[in-house]
Amino acid sequence: MNFFLPKGGAIVLARPKRVKRGWMKLRVVAIVSETHDTRTFQMVDAEVGGCQFDYHAGQYLTFRFDHFEGRAIARSYTISSSPCQQDFVSITVKRTVGGVVSNWLYDNLHEGAVLRARGALGRFCYDIDRDHPHLFMVAAGSGVTPFLSIIRQFMPSDARGAPQEMSLLVSYRTRRDLIGWQELQAFAKAAHFHLHLTLTGERDRRFLHGRINAALLNTVLAGRIAGKTFMLCGPEAMMQIVTAALLDAGVDAEQIRTESFST
């Protein structure tokens, strides 16, 4: 059995990693309205309560709907809560125009509803043994969800396995679309977290303006690429442009990680 020495000195025995195999039942216990089209669903294990599996920030769950409008359908949603939050696990779902499941979840999912999910899955995670000490995250829209989990986990100054420094460059269309904004703003008071927000659909003096592209990235990075690992999540086009710009600037391909929400 492993042990670690937290701040304060007492030796704590680390429990073995908890894994849930197969399809688990998760009960919705709270719904948080993030924006006009995005909701966070907090869920617990339907049988014993709490979150009964361990996960890494950046991983996702796959949900299965066996009788969805007469057919079986599955969709994946990133876990937006922090692995340190043991009492629930959350996902943050944005409505997709013409989308089947996201709209149904947004409109119909209610407290007490039980969903079937599998996970946690995915490798879009920060690894202190492999990655550089400054984690630079780039997101557009709902692509911010893995970073909410990562930032929530690593913000406490004594968080184990945390990068020394974190930056988030995130784009939203308008001020109505800011997901997790109050919390991110509060985090940005810390010296080791830097928040850069750009709006694509309107201007506001407090924020950058325009899509995330090579020029905007250069403005924010100002050539400071050394010691950084880059994680990108958002539309394919944005990730391709940013990846190309980073490679051009001399970033090692191994230090660029992407997560696509399209299947």
Residues forming contacts to ligand FAD in the complex (CB under 6 A) are 60, 75-78, 91-94, 96-103, 142, 145, 261, 263
Count of CB atoms situated within 10 Å of the CB of 138: 28
Tell the smallest beta-carbon distance from residue 131 to ligand FAD (Å). Answer: 20
* Closer of 75 and 257 to ligand FAD (Cβ): 75
Shortest reach from residue 60's CB to ligand FAD, in Å: 4
Q: Which is nearer to ligand FAD, 69 or 248 (CB)?
A: 69
* Residue 116 vs 209, nearer CB to ligand FAD: 116
Structural tokens at position 155: 């913000």
Q: Are 144 and 109 in contact (CB under 8 A)?
A: no
Residue nearer to ligand FAD on the CB measure, 141 or 163: 141
Q: What's the closest the beta carbon of residue 73 comes to ligand FAD, in angstroms?
A: 7
Nearer to ligand FAD, 2 or 263 (CB): 263
- DSSP-derived letter for residue 217 is H
Q: Smallest distance, Å, CB 105 to ligand FAD?
A: 8
C-alpha–C-alpha distance, residues 134 and 131, integer Å: 8
User: What is the C-alpha separation between 263 and 64, in angstroms, rounded?
Assistant: 15
Q: Is the CB of 101 or the CB of 214 nearer to ligand FAD? A: 101
Residue spans of beta strands (DSSP E) within the chain = 3-4, 12-13, 24-35, 38-45, 60-68, 71-78, 89-94, 114-121, 134-140, 165-172, 193-199, 208-209, 228-233, 256-259
Q: Which is nearer to ligand FAD, 12 or 30 (CB)?
A: 30
- To ligand FAD, the closest distance from the beta carbon of 214 in angstroms equals 26
Residue 153: which residues within 8 A CB-CB, separation 6 or more? 57, 82, 83, 84, 159, 162
Between CA 37 and CA 184 the distance in angstroms is 19
Closest contact distance (angstroms) between CB of 150 and ligand FAD is 13
Q: Which residue has the tokens 């407090």?
A: 206
- Concatenating the DSSP letter of every residue in 252-263 gives -GGGEEEE----
CB of 65 to ligand FAD, least distance (A): 10
Measured in residues, the chain has a length of 263
